[in-house]
Structure 1
């Protein structure tokens, strides 16, 4: 497995059409697994209440240890792009323009790599929260990735396509359900659902990682003896989730299931030393899990 890192600077100047946009930087990590090249692309970041990390007072102490003392945290958003010569696969599609002004930058990141929406053959969703799904439609509410087969775990799709989903969420997240329902209704005729523990595309295996949402999936990309795990939001940050994985995560819909999933994933990744990509992890999201002080830590060293 060959691994390098690169910074793509000045993506706004990559084409004349974007020259008037602000200069931006997009972190990209390249991993070569056999014939597959994997890049992580920045969709920007979210600004969230610290309680979204965890409402537990212990989380405040951990965040302080990482130099985070504000009532809000910034969460990077890392979209994964896989190209194997046959398939060009996006894992999640970012937030689009309607969620937060600090996010929705995926199109510029793709431009910086010379990839167009028409090049994408498959869009695979870890789950249907706004920062992972809402970038799927264009300005005319048509699928942005018009040539792509869209794919989502069946349990996840069934939850969000149900108009009653909003009734199960707290007031602040009801907009999540409305936004997911609108987009999934547009995609329904071109969206393929799948079960956990199946190979959804050659070399891509879906693993149940429920808790953050009812049908959240992680994806193991394997080429021969080399592999990488895309964990989505099952491991939701680079600090508290590693240092105290048994704490409730404020962003999880089913916190207790989320804890069990997180602990199992961290243990597996620490033992196997399989590289991982996390949607909200720092430095482009790619790295490894190490055991540390009775818990874990994230390292961007690949």
Structure 2
């Protein structure tokens, strides 16, 4: 397998494709996996209160070690594009224009790779949070990826399309539920659901990784003798999630379950020495996991 790193959409290309964002550069990483290719695409970044990471007092020294001392964090958003010569698969679709002004930049990243929306054959969702789902519709409430089959785990799909979820979810996430409900109802006929452990496409197997959301899925991509794990938000940052994986995360809807899921997932990835592709990990989100005593370290591929 071979890694490469490039910076896309600079200079003249940045002016033509993303003239409204002259300071924004779309960094991508790529990985050759057997005879297939994986690229990570930047959708921009989020701006979140530090409490969304953790409010555990034990987190403070770890955050300080990583230079995180302010009231906010700005996690990057990395989407994954997989091409095997037959299928062009996009994992998550980003935030679109309605969530945060710093996110929703996927179209420019696709343009930089000369990938059109019509080229995408499948859109696979890790979960239903805004930065992963809300970019699925255009301004006319039609599918952005009109030619693509849309796939989401059944537990996750059923949770967000249930009209009662907006009344049961905690108050800080009611807009998440309302936004997911509208989008899933609009495109319900275009969605296919699946369960844990299914091969949803050749070489792509689902892995239930709940806690961040009730039906969050990760995906093991295997081509030939090599594999990589798309973790979505099961591993949501490169600091606390690795240095203290058992610590509860403020962004998880079920923090206790999320911690248990994270510990098990990191153990597998490190033991099998497979590349990890994380939605909110730095430097394009593609790297590997090293054990450090009872904890772990994220090492980006650059």
TM-score (ref. length: structure 1)? 0.97
- Indicate whether 1:274 and 2:274 are aligned: yes
Structure 1 residue 14 displacement after superposition: 5.8
Describe the superposition over 1:150-179 as per-residue Cα deviations: whole angstroms up to 9, x where unpaired: 000000000000011112221111000000
- Indicate whether 1:189 and 2:178 are aligned: no
Gap regions ≥5 residues in structure 2: none
| Paired position in structure 1 for 2:219 | 219
- Indicate whether 1:300 and 2:273 are aligned: no
| Paired position in structure 1 for 2:232 | 232
Structure 1 residue 15 displacement after superposition: 7.9
Structure 1 segment 1-302 matched on structure 2, within 5 A: 1-10=1-10, 13=13, 16=16, 18-19=18-19, 21-301=21-301
Q: Which moved more, 1:58-67 or 1:193-202?
A: 58-67
CA–CA distance in structure 1, aligned partners of residues 273 and 61 of structure 2 = 28
Indicate conservation of the 8 Å contact 2:17/2:111, yes or no.
no
RMSD: 1.4
CA–CA distance in structure 2, aligned partners of residues 264 and 144 of structure 1 = 35
Gap regions ≥5 residues in structure 1: none
Q: Which moved more, 1:65-74 or 1:5-14?
A: 5-14
Describe the superposition over 1:218-274 as per-residue Cα deviations: whole angstroms up to 9, x where unpaired: 000001110000000000000000000111110111111111100000111111110
Indicate conservation of the 8 Å contact 2:127/2:216, yes or no.
yes
C-alpha spacing 1:289/1:166, structure 2 compared with 1 (3 Å): same
C-alpha spacing 1:16/1:55, structure 2 compared with 1 (3 Å): closer
SS of aligned partner of 2:180: helix
C-alpha spacing 1:17/1:260, structure 2 compared with 1 (3 Å): closer
Indicate conservation of the 8 Å contact 1:235/1:278, yes or no.
yes
Q: How many residues align?
A: 302
Structure 1 residue 187 displacement after superposition: 1.2
Indicate conservation of the 8 Å contact 1:11/1:108, yes or no.
no
CA–CA distance in structure 1, aligned partners of residues 107 and 70 of structure 2 = 30
Q: Which moved more, 1:224-233 or 1:16-25?
A: 16-25
C-alpha spacing 1:69/1:191, structure 2 compared with 1 (3 Å): same
Q: Which moved more, 1:31-40 or 1:6-15?
A: 6-15
Q: Which moved more, 1:170-179 or 1:54-63?
A: 54-63
TM-score (ref. length: structure 2)? 0.97
SS of aligned partner of 2:46: strand
SS of aligned partner of 1:101: coil
Q: Which moved more, 1:1-10 or 1:71-80?
A: 1-10
CA–CA distance in structure 1, aligned partners of residues 252 and 219 of structure 2 = 19
Indicate conservation of the 8 Å contact 1:203/1:222, yes or no.
yes
CA–CA distance in structure 2, aligned partners of residues 118 and 9 of structure 1 = 21
Structure 1 residue 294 displacement after superposition: 2.5
C-alpha spacing 1:72/1:19, structure 2 compared with 1 (3 Å): closer
Indicate conservation of the 8 Å contact 1:77/1:280, yes or no.
yes
SS of aligned partner of 2:126: coil
CA–CA distance in structure 2, aligned partners of residues 288 and 52 of structure 1 = 24
CA–CA distance in structure 1, aligned partners of residues 186 and 301 of structure 2 = 40
Structure 1 residue 60 displacement after superposition: 1.9
